[in-house]
Structure 1
């Protein structure tokens, strides 16, 4: 039975969601196939940068710049598939807001430590934090993965017998 607020698209919320999708499609001039290609290229270039960073691992500043740029390209590649607004909403969802904030902060700090401060030890420390935050952020997309990892660490590092 038709109720107030419903339309041919269904409920009013469904119509609003479809309008948002239509608006984002109008804002982006890439076709769905071009978005997939852009995602693949961005992800591949990001992975290449991260692999190249291993070549210069003895030089922490060059390593940090290459690794962080590769990291940004790889994580940002999903914006081609989802759109930047949707990715932002997903990154700052209550489940992953802390991991996202720590990740973004560590990316910025890694670049500052590498490019401006030139402190190798501090740069490597921030890169380790960046990697851990990215892993914790990525685990938030796998159901129960964070709980399993947390329980594993508790069992491994529990000092009580």
Structure 2
């Protein structure tokens, strides 16, 4: 009945809302659905990354390795969109504390694929994957309070 009243009333409240608000209202997921989406994407990302690593040891498996490993990392990164929403995730990715790590991850994803698919250079592709992994780890640590400081101290202690 309430919907009928809104439809027949002359209030233009829907038109006053912004497009982002309307889109957000139309696509809200329950908390349970968000958790399931996160788990499915994250686990699938890990499985694809591990599968890509296994494929590396096959003859001519470099291309498959680069594709599976990179898609796995992207899926793991995208999985957090289920928890906080895509717009909020993008805002947090490009926040002042994460922008360098985010850009490095994105650049390494592209360079990994270029090294494997266009250049067919196995060593460069593996180096890009290692840097991609380290950048993604550094990016992930930014979400844990004081984790980056702890990692810096840990590695500083190992070097001395």
* TM-score in same-fold range (> 0.5): yes
Distance 2:26 2:128 in 1: 36
Are 1:54 and 2:56 counterparts? no
The residue that corresponds to 2:95 in the other structure is: 93
Instruction: Please provide the CA RMSD for this pair.
Output: 2.2
Deviates more, 1:41-50 or 1:56-65: 56-65
Distance 1:146 1:36 in 2: 26
Are 1:126 and 2:128 counterparts? yes
Cα-to-partner distance string for 1:92-115 (whole Å, 9 max, x where unaligned): 111111111100110111111112
Shift of 1:22: 5.4
* TM, length-normalised to structure 2: 0.78
Shift of 1:21: 9.1
Which segments of 5 or more consecutive residues in structure 2 lack a partner in the other structure?
A: 1-17
Deviates more, 1:55-64 or 1:26-35: 26-35
Which residue among 45, 63, 66 is the counterpart of 1:64?
66
* TM, length-normalised to structure 1: 0.77
The residue that corresponds to 1:110 in the other structure is: 112
Aligned length: 140
Distance 2:156 2:48 in 1: 34
Shift of 1:46: 0.9
Which residue among 133, 144, 150 is the counterpart of 1:148?
150
The residue that corresponds to 1:9 in the other structure is: none
Distance 2:77 2:136 in 1: 9
